[in-house]
Structure 1
Amino acid sequence: MATINNGDNKRYRGLIISIALFLSLIGALLVFTFYTSSLLERNTVLIDQTNQVANSAQSVIKDLFDLDSSYGEDTSSPHIQRVLERLEQNTALINNTLTAIGEGGTITDDADGKTYKLPSVSGSAQENVQAANEQWQLLEPRIETYLKDADNVLVDSSDDLTQAVEQAKTSSLLMNESLDDLTNEVFDDAERQANTIRLIQALGVVAIFAYFLIFVFFFVRRLRETDAEAFAARRETQEIMETVNTGLFLLDKDLNIGQQHSRALNSIVGSDRLAGENFTNVLRGRISDKDLKTTQQFIEQLYNPRVKEKLVDSLNPLHKVMLHNSSDDKGLNNRFLDFKFSRVYEDKDIARILVNVNDVSDAVYLEQRLEKERSQNDMQIEMLTTILNVNPKIINEFISNTQAHIERMNNILKNPGSSQYELEGKLNAIYREMHSLKGEASALKLHSFTKIASEAEDKLHALQNQGQLSGNDFLQLAVHLDDLLSLSNTIATLGERINRSAPPKAATANTQAPLSDSALKDSVAKTAAVNSQPASSNSTDGGLDIDLGGESNDDRLSFYNEFVKEIAARQGKHVQLKSTTLAQTHIPAHLAKPIKEISIQLLRNAVVHGIEAPSVRHSAGKTEVGTIDLEVQDNGSDVTLVVQDDGQGIDYDSIRNKLSTEGRFSEEEASQLSQGDLLKQLFSSGFSTKENADEDGGRGVGLDIIKAQVKDYNGKLNVNSELGQMTRFVITLPKA
């Protein structure tokens, strides 16, 4: 938008001067009218005051006659007192009014309480005032003499009253004549002023009308010429706006869109009416509330002259932002728009913000497609790295376990149920399966699996804290199950191509074929709940199914060592794993899987919750490297697994505080719990002493998995701990 230069201002100088003169004429006429109206008002007040003096003089004579005829009556009677009071008031009023009229003084109107400045009188009017005043000066002293002792019964005031009455007979007539002559002269003067005012007003109106005609004649023609120039410029601007392919418009400080914008803007933004609309209203509901608020703050900074435009441009919240379709037209998809903001200056002031909008949907979709392909390539490289560096039997077992976990979660979702107890049981069962799957993927460094499983756990955790559950809450899990199954099939295909000698098992004897996308969503749509054990707490993530019976004893200890070191590195700790019996003990085939999973959970739990950080261990007088002992013993009728660490032990007071803080128990109830009760809570669903969940712990599922495994195999679980010294878990599983 072009700004008005000094040449343009000169064209309007004559118009501005003419309007100023026109307003000056009107102002002068109004001032004169107000002034003359004030004179008329003052003359009217003067006439009113002369009449009031005449009426007061008549009242004085009447009261004197009344007192004379009532002489001898008790002076304290109401009648005498009322007449005397009125006589005093009228006497004072005549004195003040005659003085004000003669000197042009100020007087207060008793009717409205306003104060008026009386006009000065001269000539014959002044003579009439003096004549009336002379007669009053003859009468007033006699009245004052009488009033002095009028109500004193000990003084005879009859002579004073008689003299006042006699003087009033003479003075009242002369005063009335003088005041009548004064009133007539003032009235005549007021009438002359009124005629003069009407004449001047008529001449002023004629002059103003004539000036207006001249103004219209000379300046309307100039305005027409200016309009023609503006129309030509507007037509050129419109042609430009209709031709450009980008969206162009101006924003004012209130974020209102200017009246002119490019035609392409309507199709880009997807709105037919934009001119004059508020920019925030156009965007509201089409971008997030957070982005909308940030946009308002961003534009405010653009109008701040102290902020550099290049600096604030890097904070643009509408750079390649998705604009959601706000209409009911299903044919219009969401699009990505790129808004660019530039300042428009008038002299040195920021007048407007020029906004340039481009539809960059194709470019963004291309970037997303390339990013997706890049992610898929990275995922395949990650999987290839795992396949090439891990025992093929472990890979095959991971694929089989993954499909088994997905199948079990799918079966859980299929089971009918409607009560809150059943829905909570279903939620906890799915949580355990997802947690175990994530643990296996994390141990193999398959971060794609870990990421999807973590996202699913976030939603499951949110459902746990939701309170009231419904079957539809489980629908969102379909996408995660499908993604996990797709990744499992991908790694199976890659493994089969690379390692022909150890093809992956598509499914175990008790596992159905991989579910299709539609089958997964159909089963999730039938969500209900089943009874299951509660979710765990104060535990660590995951579990890895390693076929201990099929690997060498050295491979077992090597794998566990690598597993512990990786977790310790993520947690910032130093840990050493020791074992004297793992390499010599034979584990029955049917107990290999539960012992593997329980071992992984306990080792992870020891690293995350047991072993302290190096600085803490050093302060406690320990070596900075923590020690974990893993022992497996064959006792003939059963197999015993022992995991012991030399860490901080179980802090039962900390468990009590966390139970009361989370509202599971009151402080009094928590203080009465025994160590056995606290250990039960440690294994209960949804409880963890870890403040923030991460890949290795804090979600409260690991110990629940251990409890479920021990229960399923009719085993025994024993926990022993010394605060600040050690924690030992002893798991006994019968062979039969």
Structure 2
Amino acid sequence: MSSVLTANSPIGAAPLKSRQPVKRAASWGGLASLGKYREIIIAVALFLLFDLGVLVLNFYTSFKIDQDTVAINLSGRQRYVSQRVARTLLELDAMRTAGLPYKPETLAELRNGTKIFQMSHVAFREGGTIPGGDGKPVYLEPVVSERGRELEDKVETLWRPYYELLQPLMRNDDFAPGQLAAALTYSQANNIKLLGVANDFVTETQQIGASRASVLRMVQTGGIILALLNFAFILFKFLRRLNTSDAAIEAANEENREILTSVREGLFLLTPEHQLGSQLSSSAHDLFGKTLAPGQDFFELLSTLVSEKALKDAQDYVELLFSPHVKEKLIQGINPLAEVELTVKNRLGQNTARYLSFYFNRVQDGGTVRHLLVTVQDITQKVELQARLTEERQRSQKELSMMLKAFETDPAMMRMFVERAEVSLLEVNDLLRSTSSATSETQVLKAVDGAYRRIHAIKGDAASMGLEILASLAHQFESELQKLKDSGAATGDALLALPLPLEDLLSKVAAFKKLSQNRSASPALPTQESVLQGLNASLAKLAGDVAVDCGKRVNATVRMGSALDMPADKMDLVREVAVQLVRNAVVHGVEAPLTRLACNKAAEGQVEVNLGRDEGGQWLLSVRDDGAGLDPVHVRRRLLELKWYTAEQLESFSDKQIASQIFKPGFSTAEATSQHAGRGVGLDLVQSNVQRLGARLLLSSNPGQHTEFKIYFAA
């Protein structure tokens, strides 16, 4: 403190003198602190020196081994080339004997082999750059070992006369037969000798490479041993000092640890550098779903848990808290981390959503904000309760809205829908229960597919009548069935254990049944004509609703009023088929407005539904759209993604066979699952109903123009 006082005094010289001892003491303190770690510093320096030495030797020896590898490969090539030259001489002599002209490729092989052998031979003796095995130039050092030079001299003795006899054959194609005979005679007399010397030379180059590899292993082993000994020394010194420090810290923080272990909130201090303090409560680790470390950057920790905007707002808020001129109470209300949704891992390692609340309080020393005390609370139950209340409120509003729609719906249509839905749900319930004792996975999956079709039909009916809650519940039912199929645990017991929303669906259908009964104390049976008129309207409305959900525009023309004399059971099957084909046409057929405009089409797609009799008196149901059409290439790619067939199998399929795959259960070309597509059930239901009708289905499609389904069945 004396130096500070002196610095503020009016006397100029005294402060300079008083500061010097302070600085010198600080310097000696720094040297003394370094002295405590002198042994560790020296050991680390030696460790680095050992590593550097071993690294240099490794580089040098590895370089030499690479060169030896090149020499081994090229010496092996010499052995092969010598035999190739001898073989081509025999081939040329055979051509000469047969009176045939010499083949250009045989001459080229002879000349190329002679050239390569000569270049490699010179390089082994004197060093030089020659083509490698891959044709790229490589540098070959001259052989320096005594044995290698001796073998090269033998090669020179055998090769030199050979090479001179080959020269006439190298220069032109009209060499004399005697010149070929002379070269061939020498080759047959000395080829075995040349091959033997070449084999010995390969062995010599391999021994040189092996000796260098042995040296490299010795260097590495010695370096590793020295490094491990040095590391053990460093570790021993470090652990001894760490043990001393830990004992002191443990004694000083024992009381804080007891407090931090017992509190349920997450507690820790945040430094001005945004780092976690050295003391953290045990609950903080559980709240964050990971182990926190003192000194960890707080915002780096948050960056993996919150959105980028929430992170930026939190940074600005913390900066305000560290500004002493800003009043703490005034900014408490703008805390961006008062409610934060995180995705953390539970004790089973599964990702779970959690809601945390962060509160910040200043820790001040005079007018300086030294730290922020951060309190973290788990408010997940509170948020979930609020969400459930909101969900129930919205659900009640939707149910009220659906009831109002039910009042607006034709009573006859509503009564028929309720009857069909109730029968179908009871059939699904019986189907699933009857499969409880089945042991065959095939039987269980068959039952699931049957339930899938019934529920999908109910969803389509509900959607066509605007009953969104019923359609949504049916979609949830489908999701549970899909989970069972995807889980690989398709057993009867698994069906019983599923939380299927059958009861909820049945209760909703029962409510509509009661509502339809209350609207008329003695309800009259609906006429066939009124039913068909309602069906026309509901199909047109369904097309419009699906188009809106998919971001498309559709004009639906529905003409099914001519089926006044069709039996009710057949009409139910036809209606289900029409619902699924209309939904399929809008989702998969009609393109988005911008896509249609780019293809010189009107922005609004056209869907036509007709039911009538053909010239032969048969019933004909047709559903046509002017959309993108069925693309066999897209279907093949999707089948390959589903791994239903191999690429070779798909190549053997005709376009007609490929098109038939779209009716199989589970097949869909949709990019993602939605309430309208992605399950692969709609066309499966169509196929099932076509079979029940005893009908014949024809599919025609022109890519980029249209798709049309025609279903013929007897009257």
- TM superposition score normalised by structure 1: 0.50
- Corresponding residue number in structure 1 for 2:636: 656
1:277 matched to 2:282? The reply is yes
From 432, 438, 451, give the equivalent of 1:430: 451
Contact 1:614–1:624 at 8 Å: present in 2 too? yes
Distance in 2 of aligned mates of 1:664 and 1:689: 14
From 644, 661, 677, give the equivalent of 1:697: 677
Distance in 2 of aligned mates of 1:622 and 1:615: 10
From 619, 622, 628, give the equivalent of 2:607: 628
Structure with the greater relative contact order (CA < 8 A, sep ≥ 6): 1 or 2?
1
- Corresponding residue number in structure 2 for 1:645: 625
Aligned-residue offset at 1:352? 4.2
- Corresponding residue number in structure 2 for 1:454: 475
Q: 1:375 to 1:677 in 2, by over 3 A?
A: same
From 580, 583, 586, give the equivalent of 1:604: 583
Q: Which moved more, 1:449-458 or 1:694-703?
A: 449-458
Q: 1:704 to 1:293 in 2, by over 3 A?
A: farther
Matches within 5 A, 1:655-734: 655-734=635-714
Aligned-residue offset at 1:669? 2.1
1:389 matched to 2:408? The reply is yes
Aligned-residue offset at 1:564? 1.8
- Once superposed, what is the RMSD of the aligned Cα atoms? 4.7
Contact 2:270–2:374 at 8 Å: present in 1 too? no
Aligned-residue offset at 1:616? 2.6
From 397, 418, 431, give the equivalent of 1:412: 431
- Corresponding residue number in structure 2 for 1:463: 484
- Corresponding residue number in structure 2 for 1:562: 541
Structure with more of its chain in helix, by fraction: 2
Aligned-residue offset at 1:431? 1.7
Matches within 5 A, 1:170-319: 250-251=268-269, 277=282, 279-281=284-286, 284=289, 307=319, 313-316=335-338
- Matched to 2:482, the amino acid is H
- Matched to 1:341, the amino acid is Y
Distance in 2 of aligned mates of 1:620 and 1:322: 47
- Corresponding residue number in structure 2 for 1:344: 362
Aligned-residue offset at 1:664? 2.0
Q: Which moved more, 1:641-650 or 1:614-623?
A: 614-623
- Corresponding residue number in structure 2 for 1:353: 373
Q: 1:372 to 1:465 in 2, by over 3 A?
A: closer
Distance in 1 of aligned mates of 2:343 and 2:316: 24
- Corresponding residue number in structure 1 for 2:399: 380
Distance in 2 of aligned mates of 1:670 and 1:599: 30
Aligned-residue offset at 1:435? 1.5
Aligned-residue offset at 1:497? 3.8
Q: 1:358 to 1:669 in 2, by over 3 A?
A: closer
- Matched to 1:463, the amino acid is L
Aligned-residue offset at 1:283? 6.5
- Matched to 2:426, the amino acid is E
- Matched to 2:603, the amino acid is E
- Matched to 1:474, the amino acid is L
SS of 2:676 mapped into structure 1: coil
- Matched to 1:466, the amino acid is S
Q: 1:695 to 1:420 in 2, by over 3 A?
A: same
How many residues are treated as equivalent by the alignment? 434
Aligned-residue offset at 1:462? 3.2
Contact 1:549–1:592 at 8 Å: present in 2 too? no
SS of 2:608 mapped into structure 1: strand
Contact 2:289–2:345 at 8 Å: present in 1 too? no
- Corresponding residue number in structure 1 for 2:510: 489
Contact 1:585–1:633 at 8 Å: present in 2 too? no
Q: 1:308 to 1:485 in 2, by over 3 A?
A: farther
Contact 1:295–1:317 at 8 Å: present in 2 too? no
1:444 matched to 2:465? The reply is yes
Aligned-residue offset at 1:317? 5.4
Q: 1:620 to 1:280 in 2, by over 3 A?
A: same
- Corresponding residue number in structure 2 for 1:262: none
Distance in 2 of aligned mates of 1:405 and 1:666: 37
- Corresponding residue number in structure 2 for 1:102: none
Q: 1:419 to 1:252 in 2, by over 3 A?
A: farther
- Matched to 1:277, the amino acid is S
Contact 1:549–1:588 at 8 Å: present in 2 too? no
Q: 1:257 to 1:278 in 2, by over 3 A?
A: farther
Aligned-residue offset at 1:678? 0.9
SS of 1:576 mapped into structure 2: strand
Aligned-residue offset at 1:485? 1.7
Structure of greater Rg: 1
Q: Which moved more, 1:573-582 or 1:420-429?
A: 573-582
SS of 2:438 mapped into structure 1: coil
SS of 1:355 mapped into structure 2: strand
Contact 1:319–1:337 at 8 Å: present in 2 too? yes
Aligned-residue offset at 1:320? 12
Q: 1:721 to 1:284 in 2, by over 3 A?
A: closer
Aligned-residue offset at 1:722? 1.8
Distance in 2 of aligned mates of 1:417 and 1:408: 18
- Corresponding residue number in structure 2 for 1:216: none
From 561, 585, 588, give the equivalent of 1:582: 561
Distance in 1 of aligned mates of 2:563 and 2:379: 68
Contact 1:437–1:453 at 8 Å: present in 2 too? yes
Matches within 5 A, 1:113-192: none
Aligned-residue offset at 1:442? 1.8
Aligned-residue offset at 1:673? 0.8
Matches within 5 A, 1:25-44: none
- Corresponding residue number in structure 2 for 1:124: none
Contact 2:302–2:311 at 8 Å: present in 1 too? no
- TM superposition score normalised by structure 2: 0.52
Aligned-residue offset at 1:250? 4.7
Q: 1:387 to 1:250 in 2, by over 3 A?
A: same
Distance in 2 of aligned mates of 1:313 and 1:550: 64
Q: 1:370 to 1:422 in 2, by over 3 A?
A: same
SS of 2:528 mapped into structure 1: coil
Contact 1:248–1:357 at 8 Å: present in 2 too? yes
- Matched to 1:378, the amino acid is Q
Distance in 1 of aligned mates of 2:419 and 2:647: 47
Distance in 2 of aligned mates of 1:354 and 1:405: 57
Contact 2:626–2:705 at 8 Å: present in 1 too? yes
Aligned-residue offset at 1:354? 3.6
Contact 1:632–1:639 at 8 Å: present in 2 too? yes
SS of 1:680 mapped into structure 2: helix
Contact 2:266–2:282 at 8 Å: present in 1 too? no
Deviations 1:333-375 (A, max 9, x none): xxx99744214334545524242759896x6687467435523
Q: 1:308 to 1:474 in 2, by over 3 A?
A: farther
- Matched to 2:285, the amino acid is T
Deviations 1:72-115 (A, max 9, x none): xxxxxxxxxxxxxxxxxxxxxxxxxxxxxxxxxxxxxxxxxxxx
- Matched to 1:571, the amino acid is C
Unaligned runs of 5+ in 2: 1-21, 36-254, 292-299, 322-330, 349-353
Matches within 5 A, 1:515-534: none
Distance in 2 of aligned mates of 1:595 and 1:446: 21
SS of 1:438 mapped into structure 2: helix
